[in-house]
Chain A
Amino acid sequence: MSSRVSVDSPARRWAAAGGVAVLLLGIWWAAPGRRAQARRTASGVPELHVWSGWMGHERDAFEEIVAAFNVEHPHVRLVNTSTAQDDSKVFRAIVSGAPPDVFFIWNSEYVGALAQHGALRPLDDLMARTGPLAEDILAGGLAQCRYEGRMYALPYLVDAYALFWNKGLFREAGLDPERPPKTLEELLEVAARLTVVGPDGGLTRMGMAPFALHHVCALMGGSLYDADHHRVTADSAENVRALEWLCALVERQGGSAQVDAFSAGFGEYASSQQEYFAGKVAMVESGQWWPSFTERFAREMDYGVCALPYPADRPDLRNTVPFGGNFACIPAGSRHPDLAWEFLAWTQTRVAQAHFARVMHGVPNLKQFLELPELTTGSRENEAFGVVCSLAGGPNGRAFPVTPANTLFSRELELAVDFATHGTKTPAQAMHDVTVRVQREIDQILEAGR
């Protein structure tokens, strides 16, 4: 005889109801809103959640900063969570109503879009309360934080770009190793002389690898965007000239087919196989972290660092420095904006700037800390770092403009380089197409925001 239990038995019903209750309880417990509210330590100190993208040893370095802040600020506990360099995690958190209190944006191209759509808290009132003063921040860093006249981000160290050259390869090519190219025209000549063609007709060395178009635009004095009139100006004469110069750089080193084939063999960026460290490229445009990389990956290299060249007919553009950097934002839904600002203001102190700059090899973003002796003296690496820092403090700092469509903008610029260097479009046509496409997008975004 089978002992069947009715599905309607009270025991089963209770078991089913219990199961559903446990499930619902689990969902409630995991709900972002509930978790967001429970942000206090056992001792009642509020927890301040910062999300950052640093990984590996950089994350460790930032954790040291977090620990230092916590020691100095016992009334709050700062907790770092890594976004693994994926900004979309922050976007999803903002949309779901459970954002961090403060976050470092990995890709600064998103600042304009987030600000435009009201996802960021403006920082002007907080800055006015405690500082830092806008005029104390390096111009190239400040430019990346402002959108529509308001501050939406604060830099915590910036990246500044310069020219690094391998003196040994200069000697091999019969060039004066102490005389790097001063003008962009001169750079083309020097790059051609440093380029070496192997017996099979392929390149075995390049004078200089092509670098980001918007950096060349900055060197040419071009502006990509007129923020006052919301006009994309990628097709201005200076910017077209910048793309023409990049095409010439490729042509002078054998043309796009040769350069493509040769650059396909470049090694990993942060390694001794990187093309410059491996001696495959004689000059490189890079940032202030390069001296540290050189010590790690090519300790024996005899090298120099100087400002990027300028157009011969525009000496006023001497010492132009393209900027990047790390930027912190407070999301509109931050539960502790004042505490978040307390942390951000603290990142602008001498101790926080110097410590992070030392381990992260970033340029302090405040003018008064550019010449800290512990950062800029005592070793070849520090002195080269100091050269970049002093360039960063000059008047010609330039940055990618903040627009609500920067991801599209930068991708379009990459495409323009691709089309122009391969001869599919003329530089003028390529830049015109960038202008049309990005302008259309910005118009639509601004129209929708009205």
Chain B
Amino acid sequence: MSLADRRRLVRGLLFVSPWLVGFVGLQLYPMLLSLYLSFCRYNTLTPPRFVGIENYRTMLFADEYVWTSIGNTLFMMLELPASVVLGIGTALLLNRAARAIGLFRTLYCLPYVLPSVSAGLLWLWVLNSDQGLVNALLGLLHIPGPSWLKDAQWAKPGFMLMDLWGIGGSTLIYLAALQGVPQHLHEAAELDGAGPWARFRHVTLPAVSPTVFFLVVTGALGVLQYFAQTFVMTKGQPENSTLFFGLYLFQNAFEYFRMGFACAMAWLLFLVALLATYLIFRTSARWVYYEAQEGAR
């Protein structure tokens, strides 16, 4: 490398140094440190002590709450297909040229702008079994509402209901994708005699499939990191039915002085997130349609 090249390199590095310093200092270093700490017994008050794979062994074979939290978290994955169906359905409705459609679009997106902590506090009342809105509506239909957040059977469905209420963000992205579907494809299909369902199935859905793919990936990662709502609303109760992986990780790190164990949990979460993303990517070739790719074939 010539002197001029080296100077250019140094200059380039200097230009990106704010990001570089931030990445190395605030992301890479903590990640590597947490990897090391995951092999240590570390209570945050005394120096870490290397214990090999003990934390991982305890996590996988000796701590039943880890598996409880994994089960609870995986259960919440059920909200992903529901959010896709509801998100696309709502976006289709909002994509129509109706009167005051702008107002409806705004109303549907409003819950999305609410921080999850505020939404959690609000839904503590919405799901209140005695005075809550949900049970009041069920009461109008003569359906006795459950004790949502105090009943181990209903607590997770309660959380799902709350999450589906906040799908405005996804709806907005689906709406943008729907508006990008080429009109000429719809017209061509219509000329070929395709009905509304066939047009949706064979034109709209393939065209928005990259958006579905994106939202499924980010949604799955969001579910794996589920934390703020349960921290605010139930703290894992009742009967550990809302003890999600993220919450249990937090409790270990900051309440039980088991930072080493929590780091091991964080790495398991990282690996699971990596695996989930990989699996979704692998299957995407079968159901995600890219126009540019198709044209290139």
Contacts and interface: CB of A to CB of B under 8 A. Distances in A.
A106 B132 CA distance: 32
A445 B256 CA distance: 11
B147 A422 contact: no
Interface in A257-275: 257, 260-265
A411 B151 CA distance: 18
Interface in B229-261: 237-240, 251, 254-257
Interface residues of A, number: 31
A118 B239 contact: no
A261 B129 contact: yes
Chain A CB count within 10 A is highest, among B44, B128, B152, for B44
Main secondary structure of the interface of A (DSSP, over half): helix
Contact of B45 (A118, A265, A444): A118
A422 B256 CA distance: 26
Interface string A76-119: 00000000000010010011000000000000000001100111
| 7 nearest CB pairs, A to B | A265-B130, A117-B45, A260-B150, A260-B147, A264-B130, A264-B129, A407-B255
A414 interface: yes
Interface in A418-435: 418-419, 422, 424
A261 B130 contact: yes
A15 B134 CA distance: 62
Interface string B38-56: 0001011110010000000
A91 B45 contact: yes
B151 A114 contact: no
B256 A408 contact: yes
B11 interface: yes
Contacts of A414: 237
B131 interface: yes
A444 B43 CA distance: 12
Nearest to B237: A418
B45 A119 contact: yes
Main secondary structure of the interface of B (DSSP, over half): loop
A7 interface: yes
B129 A88 contact: no
A445 B45 CA distance: 12
B237 A88 contact: no
Interface string A44-66: 00000000000000000000000
Interface of B: 11, 41, 43-46, 49, 128-132, 147, 149-152, 237-240, 251, 254-257
A405 interface: yes
Contact of A118 (B46, B128, B237, B256): B46
Nearest to B125: A264
A415 interface: yes
Contacts of A95: 44-45
A418 B46 contact: no
Contacts of B238: 418, 422
A414 B151 CA distance: 15
Contacts of B251: 411
Nearest to B240: A415
A407 B255 CA distance: 7
A264 B45 contact: no
Contacts of A264: 128-132, 147, 149-150
Nearest to B58: A444
B17 to A, nearest CB: 11
A265 B11 CA distance: 64
A342 interface: no
B119 to A, nearest CB: 19
A257 B131 CA distance: 15
A414 B238 CA distance: 10
Contact of A424 (B46, B49, B128, B152): B152
A82 B46 CA distance: 25
Interface in A118-139: 118-119
Nearest to B241: A418
Contacts of A411: 251, 255
Interface in A370-415: 405, 407-408, 411, 414-415
Contacts of B239: 415, 418-419, 422, 424
A12 to B, nearest CB: 11
B72 to A, nearest CB: 14
Contacts of B240: 415
A448 B147 CA distance: 43
A61 B10 CA distance: 59
Contact of B254 (A7, A88, A263): A88
A260 B151 contact: yes
Nearest to A332: B45
B157 to A, nearest CB: 16
A388 B128 CA distance: 35
Contacts of A265: 128, 130-131
A441 interface: yes
Contacts of A257: 147, 151
A408 B43 CA distance: 14
A94 B45 contact: yes
Chain A CB count within 10 A is highest, among B131, B240, B255, for B255
Contacts of A118: 45-46
A419 B147 CA distance: 16
Chain B CB count within 10 A is highest, among A114, A117, A257, A260, for A260
13 contacts: A88-B254, A114-B45, A260-B147, A264-B128, A264-B132, A264-B147, A264-B150, A265-B130, A411-B255, A422-B152, A424-B152, A424-B239, A448-B49
